[in-house]
Structures are given as C-alpha cells and as structure tokens.
Amino acid sequence: MLVLGVHQAPARSLLYATGQVQNPEDMKKPFIAICNSYVEIVPGHTHLRELADIAKEAIREAGGIPFEFNTIGVDDGIAMGHSGMRYSLPSRELIADSAETVITAHWFDGVFFLPNCDKITPGMLMASLRCNVPSIFVSGGPMKAGLDAKGNAATLSTMFEAVGSFKSGLMTKDEFLQMEQNVCPTCGSCAGMFTANSMNTLMEMLGVTLPYNGTALATSTERRDLIREGAKQLMRLVKENVKPKDLITKEALDDAIALDMAMGGSTNTVLHVLAIAHEAGIDYNQEDINKIAKKVPYLAKIAPSSNWSMEDVHQAGGIPAIMNELVRMGNILHPDRMTVTGKTIRENVANHEILNDEIIRRFDVNPYSKEGGISILYGNLAPDGAAIKAGGVDASVKQFTGEAIVFDSEGDAVKAIDAGQIHAGHVVVIRYEGPKGGPGMPEMLGPTSALTGMGLGKEVALITDGRFSGATRGISVGHVSPEAADQGPIALIHDGDQITIDLVDRSIHLHVSDAKLAERKTQLKPFKPKIKHGWIARYQSLVTSANTGAVLKGADELFG
C-alpha cells in the first residue's frame, strides 16, 4: 500500500530520492527497516554501524530493500552515580516509541532489530510487539573479559567493586589504575550476565533471535555470520508473514523466565519481561515468576556471581546447551514452540551439549541449587513484591536480620558508606528512588559494589525501591513495591527498625506493628516531584509501579 497506485506517486518520488530504491522493480520488493542503536558513547554499540552495513548487504542479496534508522541509547555504567541515571529506564519507553513511530509511519514489510545494551533490547522488543510486523533480532554481542591487576579475568562489576576496595585501603592506586584501563578491553556489552546479556540470551528462548545470539563475542566472525543469517531468515519471515505476537506468547515468557532462573540473570529482566508481556497483551505478574523459580535449577553461575564470563559460557556450549539441559528435564519448557529459524526450540537446541560442566552444570548431577537464581519477596515491607538476585548472594546466607539505616536518596547513602558509617548488621534502606520517586528508578550498583568491595557483602543488606544493575551481587533487594513516593511501607521505616530478609520463604518483613505503621503513615508529608520540566517530568506523572514493569499508563488508565 505504501507504493501502490497513482495516488502514491509522490511517495515513490521521495523513495527514489533516498537512493535505496533504483527502479520500478525495486518498488515491488519488501521494504525492510534496520532499527539500529549505534551510539558512539556506548561501547556495546560502537560496532553496530559496521553490523548494519552487513545486514543491508545480506537483505539486498535476499531480495529486500533495506532502510536504516537509529534509536537513542544510554550506557548505564557511564550514567550511573549521578542524575543521568534517571534517564536510563525511561529511555526504554523512548526507544519503543521512536521505533514504533518510524516503522508504523512508513509501513515497512519487516524489521531487522539491532540492539545490545541495557534498556535498548527490551525497548525494541516492546516496539516489535506494538508494530507486529515480521521481525528478527540480532544483538551486538558481549565484549571479552578484561584483566585485574593480578592477571585474573575481570568485568565491569569487578571495577565497581574495586572502588570500594580502593577507598577502604584494600587496593593500591597502581592496581586500581591498571584495572581501570583493562577491565573493558573490546567493544560489546559488558562481559558478565548483566542486564544486556541477560536480555540478549532471553531472546534465544523467546524465539525471536538465532542460537548463540547471547554469547558470540562482539568482535567475532561468528557475530557477523549471525547478522547475515538473521537477514536471510527475516526475508523468509516476511514471505510467510510470521509476526512477533505469533512467537512471544505466555508460554514463551514462561520459558524465558525459566532460562533466566537457570543462569541467574539480572533482576532487571523482571521489569522488562513484565513490560514485554504488557505490550503483547499477556496477563503476567511476579507471582508467575516465583512459581517458575521453584521448579528450575540454577545451572550456570556467571559473573558477577562467579569469575566466568560470557565468552566462557559460549565455549562451554552457549545458551543452546543450557536450553537443551532444560528440555532434558521434561517438565520445564514448552519446547515445541516455533522460532524465527523456522524450527522449534527443541529442534534449535537438539544435540547442543554441555562442553564444560564446571561452567554449565547438569540438572541431575550438581546444580548450584534446586531453585532458580532470582526470587520475588513478599511481606509487610513489600506487599506488591520486591526482587533479589538470590544467585548473587553468598550461599551461606539464607536469612538476614539487621537494623535499618535509612536514606532518602542514593547520594546520601553513598556519602555514608564512604564515611564509614555502615557496619556489619545494618540494612541500608535507600528510598524515594523508584519509578516515580527517582524519577526513573536509578540503578544502585555504586553502593552495592562499594559494600562488596569493602568486604561487607555477607554482613550488610541493602533494600531500595530503585533497582540494581545486573552486575550487582550481595544481599541486595530492589523493586520494593509500592515505592516510597506512593506512600509504600518503605517510606515508613525509621532508623533502628529491625528488618528480616528470608531467601527460603521468599519474604521481607519489617518488625513494626501494623498499628505503629498506620500511625507513621499519618505523619508522612506528600511526595514532591524532583523534576518539574522536560520529558522526565511527564514520565514521572505517567509511570506505574515496578511490580507492573514500570510501564506508562495507557488511555484506559488515564481516561477510564
């Protein structure tokens, strides 16, 4: 319809002007969007310009006409620790909105999505579901692991923890500077199972990308081969009219969560899976996640929960080997779902065996635990739930009770940590940093890493209505809902209150009576938004709670 008929002659004239369309025969070919996220300040994206050119060439060879456009991107590691982090999670909505705009306005026949880091992958997934035209995803791939001062494998999380070690005198200046220059040696998403790689691996299970998308290195020839194969498969999807909503079903989301549990992914995946379900029109909630966690074993402990990097996982068999192990269990996955390869999940991973069972463990031999690496906690402190990367907590810690020390911002907490005010037995509470209160639900990798680097990873807990980087480990509870800005119980905590975090019962409890909490609530002052201009001000007026994926209110909620 975009180019057919006399009335569309002006549109055809403009298409000739782009140089992508050369003659009337080209007008008959499928128009393919390449949704790129090339951003020079994001190391996971600096090579995407090259990958887009490979995709264009492959699309033309397969009979399509490629048109590239770009989205924004935020590097969480660079934006962290200052007001820029307020823009990270909200950028997911901008990415989805901008991609939806370009794709829908120009009636593309198919879309090649080229994401990699943090909020870009989920933002593009959300856009694909809104537009629901044949699509494929091939991300930019992970970077190689770097080295610390002693020559051991290191990732960005190692560097964040080194900040705490250096400040507390456990690391020399020379060691610190050596690490700074060597932990991120190549382009690509950070080398551990952080948010970017968690999402890029989950796409393998969702069925919207190719096997090994999550682990083939950004610098490898294999990554470039994935781009070429992805372009060919996309042209087949266009011909057969296979759309994202045909693939991303309730069963696919369940399976993605199962994979997340098996490899101990980022707690941010909880936010993003809920948001993706929302765009797909699928009723999904955090209780579904806990049900899956209880039956999926923890098979692959990857950095920051170990020293293994994504490259190590790739060499051990990659995500297909983990998926095949889950298929072998027989009652975990829905393995006969179709994928973008034209094959089922079962067919995609058949014969993909574990090549190193120290890195990827077998469910019936030596799993790290019988239950998954992420837990949703409930209790009087989080009636609507909170998330913890249980696989990143020291195995000796099953329950932690401590004394609250309360901060109304991340900055205040960091100052207290740097000043040595946090001691063993404390539960650090950082509030008014949720989706609305932050605004933007900033990540707390700085304070959690500082505590770990100071040797307090098992001795101190941290809870927040904000969120954590996938690089976070330790007793770190995020997404506490309702948030403080909505007068959730986290807003009622006082210094000295006792808090219990129970990983076995999946509970979080504030040891204050209901009557006392009710009295405290009457004394709360109304929340005053921190930002009153720009689009973030609009965002904080529309954003919903973390337990619903921090999506924006729709017309039904705004107008009834």
User: Which residues are documented as binding site for Mg(2+)?
Assistant: 76, 118-119, 443
Burial, 216: exposed, middle or buried (Cβ in 10 Å; 0-12, 13-18, 19+)?
Answer: buried
Give the residue numbers annotated as catalytic, written as ranges.
469
Q: What is the CB-side half-sphere exposure of residue 476 using CA atoms within 13 A?
A: 28
Instruction: Return the closest-CA partner of residue 65 out of 234, 302, 204.
Output: 234
Contact 201, 319 (CB under 8 A): yes
Q: Which residues are annotated as a binding site?
A: 76, 118-119, 443
Backbone angles phi, psi at 262, to 5 degrees: -70, -25
Tokens of 145: 């692991």
Contact 293, 310 (CB under 8 A): no
- Strand spans (E) along 364-411: 375-379, 382-388, 399-407
**φ and ψ at residue 71, rounded to 5 degrees:** -115, 170
**Which of 307, 333, 309 lies closest to 320 in space, CA to CA?**
333
How far apart CA 484 and CA 156 sit, in angstroms, is: 30
Label residue 483 left, alpha or beta by phi (over 0 means left) and psi (-120 to 50 means alpha): beta
DSSP state of 485: G
Residue 153 CA, distance from chain mean position: 23
- Write 23-28 long-range contacts (CB < 8 A, 24+): 26/65, 27/3
Q: Distance between CA atoms of 341 and 233, rounded to whole angstroms?
A: 6
